[in-house]
Structure 1
Amino acid sequence: MSHLVRRTAAFATLALIATCSAQAAEWSDTSLGYRYGTKFAEPFNNQDITKTIVNLSHVSGYKLGKNFFSADLLMSSEKDPSAAGSNVGAHEAYVVYRNTLDFGKITGNSYAFGPVRGVGATVGFDFNSKTDAGYNSKKRMVVAGPTLMLDVPGFLDISALVIWESNAPYSTFTKTATPRYAYKTHAMLTGAWGIPFTVGIPLQFNGYANFITAKGTNEFGGGTAPETNIDAQIMYDISETIGTPKNTFKVGVAYQYWRNKFGNPSKNNPGATARTPMVRAEYHF
């Protein structure tokens, strides 16, 4: 676990430094987060899994658009073991980076129409590394495509992205490494939002939704299925109640629905669909 933590921390630090230094930020928000749930699921595992997730996130705007960076360290209970026969849970690092260019900022023209306030293009990548009993994922994914920025309180961005994805797993059961395998180029319709609202107290509705097409056959010759991954949170800013500046400490609840996780068909595979309530806390600095 220590090697994975060190490697993830180093990668996250370098990526965050590159993100911040590549463009002069007009605004930024960096946070440390904590999530906990007892109903996580993994494909080909029919047991509920408890996970603790520690997160580093950064979002910033610059003269041409905005950056988003997120690094999760996911720590599973023994129901998702780190090796065959182990009573120690698996560990996973998952990193996401997105850069969205705003055509309005680039050209100085307005691209607003109807409910859309701006048009842009998004590029980015996903990276993961997991130590577990069976698959030991080493996902690499690059995405690119157009983005619509909707005119709502806060933000709501919708993108249609092309995905180039590969993996190179290692089976601890057979002691076999699979050469890096590229899936069929596929597509993702994705939305990300952060919308403030008030119900007696000020709250914020945050989250993302990904609808991903099937990606052809997998590295073992089996079929894949379209994915639906929705992760939504309602957060409350407790900062002023504990004597700190606004938007410093936030707590809330979250729910994730993930069908056909990582493209694994849910038929006869209950672990391929996750329905996971979580508690969540964030420290912003």
Structure 2
Amino acid sequence: MSHLVRNTAALAVLACCACAAQAADWSDTSLSYRYGTKFAEPFNDNDITKNIVNLSHVSGYKYGKNFFSADLLMSSDLDPSAAGSNSGAHEAYVLYRNTLDLGKVTGNNFAYGPVRGMGVTVGFDFNSKTDAGYNSKKRMVVAGPTWMLDVPGFLDVSVLAIWESNAPYNTFTNQATPRYSYKTHAMLTGAWGIPFNIGIPLSFEGYANFITAKGDNEFGGGTAPETNIDMQIMYDISEKIGTPKNTFKIGIEYQYWKNKFGNSDHTNPGATARTPMVRAEYHF
């Protein structure tokens, strides 16, 4: 497990340094923790407990903005780390997005109706997981247009092309699968952070991904379209504990993930997850 933590930490530092090197006009870096007992994994009919630690960084620079996120997900033993193991699986998941604001790049005004601006987003995801059955080694590149909507806070909607591959290893059979590229497919995705106040300072935050089927998987089976919605209500407790605004937040989170990783839930236990969580964040 130690090499996974070291690699994740190194990538986090490098990405944050790269963001900072672009002379950010503003930035927000946060450490967060979330916990839930109803996580699900395909081909596993158990409710899985997970502890998740996250490092995130978002920053704006002259021509757009960066977003980086690194999750370390630690499962209970119902999602075992290897065949016959009594310890839970561990996963590192890293995501990066860069959005160029076309208005800032060209000097033209792209606002119309509810849209305040347009951009072009590129980025990547990758993961490494140690688990009994699949041991995912996902690699994914995305690119496409983004619309920035005129709301309090932000709401960005993108249509992205996805180029994805994986090279799993099955510890039950000791069978390694050569890296396999799925069919290029599409994702409609939205990310938001909208503040509101009902006597206490709250914010509605999250993302939603709607992903088309990606052709056959590496074993020759078909894949299904995915829906992954993760949303939270966060309460800024900073001033209550004597710290600057937006330093400490606590809240509740809910994730709905249908056909997880493209696995159809028709005959597959665990392919759809409905997961309530608690969440805490420290921003610096």
Between the aligned partners of 2:19 and 2:244, the Cα distance in structure 1 is 26
Is residue 15 from structure 1 mapped to residue 21 from structure 2 by the alignment? no
Give the counterpart letter for 1:172 in structure 2: T
Q: What is the letter of the counterpart of residue 24 of structure 1?
A: A
Q: TM-score, normalised by structure 1?
A: 0.99
Deviations 1:177-217 (A, max 9, x none): 11000000000000000000112211000000000000000
Question: SS at the partner of 1:262?
Answer: helix
Query: Quick check: 1:120 aligned with 2:119?
Result: yes
C-alpha deviation, 1:12, in angstroms = 1.6
The AA in structure 2 aligned to 1:8 is T
Offset at 1:283? Answer: 0.3
Please give the alpha-carbon distance, in whole angstroms, between the structure 1 residues aligned to 2:137 and 2:269: 23
Q: Quote the residue 1:240 is aligned against.
A: 239
3-state DSSP class of the match of 1:214?
coil
Task: Name the amino acid aligned to 1:250.
Answer: K
Shift of 1:7: 1.3
Structure 2 counterpart of 1:38: 37
2:270 aligned counterpart, secondary structure: helix
* Partner residue in 2 for 1:5: 5
Instruction: Name the aligned partner's letter for residue 17 of structure 1.
Output: C
Q: Report percent identity of matched pairs.
A: 83
* 1:43-81 Cα shifts (integer Å, max 9, x gaps): 000000000000000000000000000000000000000
* 1:68-126 Cα shifts (integer Å, max 9, x gaps): 00000000000000001111000000000000000111112211000000011100000
Distance apart, 1:270 and its partner CA? 2.2
- The one-character-per-residue Cα deviations of 1:10-50 (angstroms, maximum 9, x if unpaired) are 122112212221x1100000000000000000000000000
Q: Which residue type is aligned with residue 157 of structure 1?
A: D
Measured in 2, the distance between the counterparts of 1:71 and 1:245 equals 25
> TM-score, normalising length from structure 2?
0.99
- Hey, what does 2:166 align to over in structure 1? 167
State the number of aligned residues.
284
- What is the CA–CA distance in structure 2 between the aligned matches of 1:46 and 1:209, rounded to whole Å? 24
Deviation at 1:259, TM superposition (A): 0.2
Equivalence map 1:13-162=2 (5 Å): 13-21=13-21, 23-162=22-161
User: Structure 2: where are the runs of 5+ without partners?
Assistant: none
Question: What RMSD over aligned residues (CA atoms) do the two structures have, in Å?
Answer: 0.6
